[in-house]
């Protein structure tokens, strides 16, 4: 959790504040102290989406709370949208991890997912119409995607 580490660093550095403000860079929105941006202008393969995110000083999303991100995307864009997130089992089949290295919670997957149907489904999708929202998919499919960047943490009295 990037924000928690930032707050911890402020405290370790001796910064005492009555208030801490967490915000996001332009075009990103805040969900549970993480900054996200949904890209709906064009679709990309998973690896290309990750490259596009890096051009924004971001990476594909590794949400701490998949349900909260799902609700935010549903509220902003409605049903029927499917987005690449930064989840994959390409390093070790069946070991689903975010690009941040954290494990993806089993309860975030819909139905019998991830099922690696037909082989080669190594990347995670979030569907605004699905609950739970995650599904595995072939990484070469063209999809919208969600990027994540570091939140801005300001401490003040």
Per-residue pLDDT tens digits for 65-104: 999 999 999 999 999 999 999 999 999 998 999 999 999 9
Question: Which residue(s) pair with 35 in the sheet?
Answer: 30, 149
**149/157 Cα distance (integer angstroms):** 26
The answer to whether residue 2 is domain-embedded is no
Compute the mean pLDDT over every residue in the chain, rounded to the nearest whole number. 90
Residue 126 lies in a domain: yes
Instruction: Report the distance separating Cα 117 and Cα 2, nearest Å.
Output: 34
Residue 21 lies in a domain: no
Tell me how many domains the chain contains: 1
CA 130 to chain centre: 16
Decide if 143 is inside a domain: yes
Per the domain annotation, does 153 fall within a domain?
A: no
pTM: 0.88
pLDDT in tens, 31-58: 999 999 999 999 999 999 999 999 999 9
What is the separation of C-alpha 71 from the centre of its chain, rounded to a whole number of angstroms? 13
**Long-range Cβ contact pairs of 133-140 (< 8 A, separation 24 or more):** 133/66, 133/67, 133/70, 133/108, 134/66, 134/85, 134/87, 134/104, 134/108, 134/109, 134/110, 135/109, 135/110, 136/89, 136/96, 139/45, 139/46, 139/47, 139/88, 139/90, 140/45, 140/46
How would residue 11 be classed by pLDDT, with cut points 50, 70 and 90?
Answer: very low
pLDDT at 16: 55
Residues facing residue 39 across a β-bridge: 145
**Res. 62: pLDDT tops 70:** yes
Q: Which residues pair with 60 in a beta bridge?
A: 147
Give the pLDDT band (50/70/90) at residue 155: confident
CB 1 within 8 A of CB 33: yes
Q: Which domain holds residue 85?
A: 26-147
Q: Report in angstroms the alpha-carbon separations of 18 from 8, 11, 152, 155.
A: 14, 12, 17, 8
The CATH code of the domain that includes 104 is: 3.10.100.10
- Establish if 73 belongs to a structural domain: yes
Distance CA 68, CA 85 (A): 14
Residue 43 belongs to some domain of the structure? yes
């Amino acid at each position: 959790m990037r924000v928690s580490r930032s707050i911890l660093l402020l405290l370790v550095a001796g910064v005492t504040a009555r208030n801490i403000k967490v915000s996001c860079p332009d075009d990103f929105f805040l969900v549970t102290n993480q900054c996200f941006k949904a890209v709906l202008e064009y679709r990309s393969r998973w690896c290309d989406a990750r490259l596009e995110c890096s051009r924004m000083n971001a990476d594909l999303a590794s949400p701490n709370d998949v349900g909260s991100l799902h609700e935010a995307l549903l509220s902003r864009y409605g049903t029927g949208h499917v987005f690449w997130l930064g989840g994959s089992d390409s390093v070790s089949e069946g070991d689903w991890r975010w690009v941040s290295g954290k494990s993806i919670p089993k309860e975030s997957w819909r139905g019998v997912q991830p099922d690696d149907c037909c082989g080669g489904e190594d990347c995670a999708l979030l569907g605004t119409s699905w609950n739970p929202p995650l599904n595995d998919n072939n990484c070469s499919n063209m999809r919208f995607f969600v990027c994540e960047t570091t939140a801005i943490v300001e401490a003040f009295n």
